[in-house]
Amino acid sequence: MNDKSLVQVKIGITGGIGSGKTYICNLLRERGYKVYNCDDEAKRIMLEDEEIISQIKTLIGNDAYTPDGQLNKPVIANFIFSDKDNAAKVNSIVHPAVKKDFLHWAEDKQVAIMESAILFESGFDDVVDTTVLIWADARNRLKRAMTRDHATREQIEARMAAQISDDEARRKADYIFRHNNYDETENEMRKLIQYIENYS
């Protein structure tokens, strides 16, 4: 990375299940970039932020947390899937906190990268300067996700159907990183890094 201490850029990276989003973000980490993983940080916030904990307990009930203070995942999942509006209610508590936390985390970083599977759906794209979609065709994504998650085709296809469509994601993204072939990843990575450097 160039030394441009007076310039800061925030980049959002997203991609559907099996696209290789986390793999690409790990490659960026290896090259010295700082990456904020929204899933990991949301879980941390839900465990550490007393205001968020209180709001979740008010919404779901005290048994949203186990006696030792951990997330009671079956209870939370049951609440979310029992009514189509419940996921939005949980997200309305957690997502603003994640946005605030990301912006605080990004303050001292020249290039701050946000990794989020739901970048557009959550509105997280509002707090970044540019967005990158890690894209692979559906066949490759399906194969990767089935292998990684030890899941059936039907299970992965259901998850894919629940996400933003490829067409919509491609329309929304500022930059598309094609990740169909791992042998071509280095070339695509060079282009992505050049994009990041030019943007910053």
Percentage, residues of the chain above pLDDT 70? 96
Number of structural domains the chain divides into = 1
- Whether 104 maps to a domain, the answer reads yes
- Which helix (H) or strand (E) covers residue 171, if one does? helix 166-172
The reply to whether 4 falls in a domain is: no
Nearest Cα residue to 19 out of 173, 129, 130: 173
CA distance 111 to 144: 29
Of the chain, the percentage scoring pLDDT greater than 90 comes to 74
Any domain includes 1: no
Distance separating alpha carbons of residues 22 and 7, to the nearest angstrom: 26
- Which range of residues forms the domain containing residue 37? 9-199
DSSP string, 90-136: HHHHHHHHHHHHHHHHHTT-SEEEEE-TTHHHHTGGGGSSEEEEEE-
pLDDT tens for each residue of 97-114: 999 999 999 999 999 999
* Whether pLDDT at 10 is above 70: yes
Is residue 177 within a helix (H) or strand (E), and if so which, with residue range?
strand 175-178
- Sequence letter at residue 109: K
pLDDT 10s digits, 137-173 = 889 889 999 999 888 999 888 888 888 888 999 999 9
Query: What tokens does 11 get?
Result: 């980049």
Report pLDDT digits (tens) over 23-48.
999 999 999 999 999 999 999 999 99
User: Residue 34 maps to which CATH number?
Assistant: 3.40.50.300
- Per-residue tokens: 172: 């929304």
Q: Convert the pLDDT of each residue in 176-185 to its tens digit.
A: 999 988 777 8
Q: What is the mean pLDDT of residues 113-117?
A: 97
**Contact 52/93 with Cβ under 8 angstroms?**
yes
pTM reported for the whole predicted model: 0.88
Q: Under a CB-based contact definition with an 8 Å cutoff, are residues 192 and 175 in contact?
A: yes
Residue 158 lies in a domain: yes
Cα-only R_g, the chain: 18
Residue 142 in any domain: the answer is yes
